[in-house]
Amino acid sequence: MLARELFIAENLEVPRAVRPFLSGQAVVYTTRAHDKETENEDAAAIFALDLSHGLLVVADGLGGLPLGQQASGTAVKVLEATLKACDNVDLLRECILNGIESANEKVLQLGAGAATTLALVEVSDAAVRTYHVGDSMILVCGQRGRLKLQTISHSPVGYAVESGMLDEAEAMHHEDRHIVSNVLGAAEMRIEMGPAVPLALRDTVCIASDGLFDNLQVPEIVDIIRIGPLVKAMDKLITLCQQRMRAADPDATTPSKPDDLTVILYRPV
């Protein structure tokens, strides 16, 4: 492995730029919710396997369940160990799938209902492939704002949006928004793997916990991240998201759901 950055139970005051990362730049931000005193239950990781292959990872330990922070931290640590043992990038897909399966077994061994989501982006040359379990979401957008990829949240509300039963605005205020139907830490865990999606210069990848997507609609996120320096885009994104989280008007049309917040942005240049 060429390089790696792990963020477990961290509370960053400002976004952290990781550059160069492959052919571009990655920016990471993670912190606990402003209204809680317990640890940040999100975790994140960036792995560069060589000069053209890398991974971006976000794990969101389930709030309200025991050992949420340990579950998310375990997931990224197990992935790190699996990738260190993967000495052939031609076998990277198999290594990722094996790593996720191993992470699920380790989280199950924690017991006490420990669970976490996992969202992972494999970056290889000029393409990306997604792997996810749960409702941490992945987006890819072009410089002009065209949405090239959006994963489907593994939740009743996520499936309702995908089927057209709910629109995004209704979903953000739905009383079952917090329910997740697929997690690491479950014997029936399943991995959703997406197709390879071409990644053009100036495209932006966004991978985040639901702290972002429960407070900002996808068009708002895309409009912020599609252009401008990546660090400034991250600053705007987290500033608006935290403003929403701190809003106290129960009748507001915009959502306000305090939560741990973790975001990774990547853009090839």
Distance CA 36, CA 32 (A): 7
Mean pLDDT lowest among 30-44, 102-116, 168-182, 241-255 = 168-182
Q: Percentage of residues in the chain with pLDDT exceeding 90? A: 78
pLDDT grade, residue 165 (50/70/90)? confident
Q: Which domains does the chain have, with CATH numbers?
A: 3-268 (3.60.40.10)
Residue 117 gets which letter from DSSP? Answer: -
pTM of the complete model: 0.94
The answer, yes or no, to whether residue 250 has pLDDT greater than 60, is no
Q: What is the dihedral of CA 245, 250, 253, 256, to 10 degrees?
A: 10
For all residues of the chain together, what is the average pLDDT?
A: 92
The answer, yes or no, to whether residue 80 has pLDDT greater than 80, is yes
The answer, yes or no, to whether residue 69 has pLDDT greater than 70, is yes
pLDDT grade, residue 105 (50/70/90)? very high
The letter for the amino acid at 120 is: L
153: left (phi over 0), alpha (psi -120 to 50) or beta: beta
Task: Determine whether 238 is exposed, middle or buried from the number of CB atoms within 10 Å of its CB (0-12, 13-18, 19+).
Answer: buried
pLDDT grade, residue 209 (50/70/90)? very high
